[in-house]
Amino acid sequence: MDKFYNKKEILLKAQKIYSSGKFYRDYIEDGNLFPLEIKLKILKESNLRENFSILLSELSSLKKENLELCYREFNFKSIGKQKLPIAVNFRDAESFLKYIFKFDEFELFKNSYKKIVTKYSCLKEIIVKKPFLVLESIDIWDELFLVCDFFINNPKPNIYVRELSISGVDTKFIERNKKVLDMLLSTLLDIGSLDGSVSSLSNFGFEKKYFLKYPIPLVRFRILDDAQKLCGLSDLCVTIEEFKELTLAIENIFIIENKITTLSFPALKNSMVIFGSGYGVESIKDVKWLNSKKLFYWGDIDRDGFAILSQARAYFKHLRSIFMDEQTIESFAIYSTKDSDKYKRELPNLVSDELVVYDKLQNDYYGTDFRLEQEKIHFDYVMERLNDYTF
């Protein structure tokens, strides 16, 4: 077993240099990484006296690897002068790559890198930061170029991804490779051809950033007062843009996390209910007219429910929670289930009584991983307690 001149340790150190990208950046920027030395363990006199035969065996094993060793002379008290290896030296990139079995891989990198910077020289800055991007996309660079060419020649296309007609590229290719395309396009396009305020690709971020059409979120809502129906309709689903333009005399608006609860919420004068769809409540954050209404939120009594409540209140400071209190827990705790989400969050937008319940949830006060879904709350209880809230 290697103990001092450890072949595995040398290989791991060399592989670490390679996997860090340092080797690639050195190649791209004409650096001076080579000759490259990997230090060996400096031996003490006691190591030599007590393990001399092991050291000789390990040194012989290193020499069989055809590694170039750097030596230094040490002067020990009891055994005198000894010339010992202190480092492994790689004179050039070729010897280094062959040692870690990456020679063929790097040849692929060089060929693709040359093709990339010949096509678009400004992409060099991306590859310096993310050299392995070249290899990760090794088989699709031709298609990536075709997509980039399209957006350069057709900025702000204002069509759906599926409408893009790029010879040699199917539209699913774009959907599969949005992350790498974003890195390329954000470098290749001029500032006026993309929306620099978009920082995430989630929620159609790619489409928003590069001025493509995308499915506009829909808002489902029910008008609970027959006198306030729209053209005789009470259960409607409209685009968020249409929802923003609504003019309603309704005063009380309930945002409900669960769809069935939304559909079965009782009739109530001067009121309506919106299906929040969990974290989808974000879709209504820019609906200005909601700020002039009385807003109520009802979600599950669990970590996610309170996280969504906190998120919603970040948009609407006057939002109140309903049926997410200890009275409801005490009444229906027998119907609780286990919460699979064990992630503990700081929720800055909860008010004091909500924080009490949330902290108790976090600390398993009501039971381990306690969760009480709103579907478990009896409807006669809902009807009775709705009167407790000021409308």
pLDDT in tens, 37-51: 988 877 776 766 666
> Do 142 and 238 reside in the same domain of the chain?
no
Q: Are residues 227 and 361 in the same domain?
A: yes
The pLDDT of residue 136 is 93
In the chain, which residue ranges form alpha helices assigned H by DSSP?
A: 7-19, 22-28, 45-50, 52-64, 93-99, 103-119, 124-129, 133-136, 141-153, 171-176, 178-188, 205-209, 240-244, 259-264, 303-315, 326-332, 352-362, 379-386
Instruction: Residue 284: give its domain's CATH number.
Output: 3.40.1360.10
**Domain termination site, one of 176, 209, 242:** 209
- Label residue 387 by pLDDT band (50, 70, 90): confident
Dihedral (Cα; 262, 266, 267, 269), 10-degree rounding: -90
Residue recorded with tokens 């070249």: 134
Mean pLDDT confidence for 250-261: 92
What confidence tier does 280 reach under pLDDT thresholds 50, 70, 90? confident
Same domain, yes or no: 364 and 238: yes
Residues 326, 250, single domain; the answer is: yes
| Between 40 and 373, the higher pLDDT residue | 373
pLDDT (average), residues 277-297: 89
In this structure, the answer to whether residues 156 and 274 fall within a common structural domain is no
Chain position carrying tokens 């390990």: 58
Q: What is the pLDDT at residue 2? A: 47
**Mean pLDDT lowest among 66-75, 97-106, 116-125, 333-342:** 66-75
Reported as a pLDDT band with limits 50, 70 and 90, residue 4 is low
Non-local (6+) Cβ contacts of 325 within 8 A are 353, 357
61-102 pLDDT, tens digit each: 777 777 888 888 877 777 777 777 788 899 999 999 999 999
- For residue 391, pLDDT over 60 is answered with no
Specify which of 2-6, 40-44, 356-360 reaches the highest per-range mean pLDDT.
356-360
Output 58 or 135, whichever has higher pLDDT: 135
Percentage of the chain beyond pLDDT 90 is 67
Distance between CA 376 and CA 323 in Å, rounded? 11
In this structure, is residue 2 part of a structural domain? no
Which three-class secondary structure state does DSSP give residue 12? helix
**pLDDT, tens only, 135-189:** 999 999 999 999 999 999 999 999 999 899 899 998 889 999 999 999 999 999 9
391 inside domain: no
Residue located via tokens 């979120």: 217
Distance CA 19, CA 25 (A): 11
Q: Which of 101, 132, 166 is the last residue of a domain?
A: 101
The whole-number pLDDT of residue 353 equals 94
Examine the domain organization and report whether 114 and 198 are in the same domain: yes
From 209, 240, 261, the end of a domain falls on 209
Number of domains in the chain: 3
Rounded CA separation 345/341 (Å): 11
Q: Which domain holds residue 174?
A: 109-209
CB atoms within 10 A of CB 143: 18
Whether 370 and 236 share a structural domain: yes
For the cut 70, the answer to whether the pLDDT of residue 3 exceeds it is no
- Residue 115, domain member (yes or no): yes
Q: Pick 270 or 75 by higher pLDDT.
A: 270
pTM for the full predicted model: 0.65
Instruction: Tell me whether residue 17 is in a domain.
Output: yes
Extract the tokens encoding 225: 């007062």
Once rounded to an integer, what is the mean pLDDT over residues 349-378? Answer: 94
Weakest mean pLDDT among 39-43, 219-223, 233-237:
39-43
Instruction: Identify the weakest region by mean pLDDT among 20-29, 173-182, 251-260, 276-285.
Output: 276-285
pLDDT at residue 57, rounded to an integer:
73
Co-location of 41 and 14 in the same domain: yes
Query: How many whole angstroms separate alpha carbon 10 and alpha carbon 100?
Result: 10
Residue 85 lies in a domain: yes
Verify that 239 and 375 share a domain, yes or no.
yes
Q: How many CA atoms lie within 13 A of 128 on its CB side?
A: 11
| Sole residue written with tokens 């007590």 | 50
- Looking at the fold, whether 238 and 322 belong to one and the same domain comes out as yes
Which pLDDT band, with edges at 50, 70 and 90, does 247 fall under? confident
- 228 band by pLDDT with thresholds 50, 70 and 90: very high
Q: Is the pLDDT of residue 29 over 60?
A: yes
pLDDT category at 277 given cuts 50, 70, 90 is confident
Q: Is residue 148 part of a domain?
A: yes
pLDDT higher than threshold 50 for residue 1: no
Phi, psi of 278 (to 5 degrees): 65, -130
Average pLDDT, the chain: 89
- Say if CB 354 and CB 309 are below 8 A apart: yes
Whether 279 and 378 map to the same domain: the answer is yes
The span from the CA of 86 to the CA of 41, in Å, is 7
353-361 — which CB contacts under 8 Å span 24+ positions?
A: 353/325, 354/306, 354/309, 354/321, 354/324, 356/326, 357/301, 357/306, 357/324, 357/325, 357/326, 357/329, 358/303, 358/306, 361/301, 361/302, 361/303, 361/306
- Token pair in block for residue 112: 């693709």
Residues 93 and 192 both lie in one domain:
no
